[in-house]
Amino acid sequence: MDHSEELKNVAEKTGKSRAAKRKWREIEALKERHRLRKELMDIDYCFDCELEELEL
């Protein structure tokens, strides 16, 4: 394997890792919104909003 093939393999691995980390951050943000919505509903039982309306 020459040097250019090695660099290509490293770049592919890095890209996959970044995509996986980004996806994980998106999942964590959704979980946080669900927790926030539940907490707000516990405080005020009349509270009703969509997850997209919540800002973290």
The residue segments making up the domain with residue 40 are 3-53
Q: What is the pLDDT of residues 3-50, one digit of tens each?
A: 666 666 666 666 778 888 899 999 999 999 889 888 888 887 676 666
The whole-chain average pLDDT of the chain stands at: 76
Structurally, the chain folds into a number of domains equal to 1
**Smallest Cα–Cα separation from 25: which of 56, 53, 54, 51?**
56
Model confidence at 1: pLDDT above 80: no
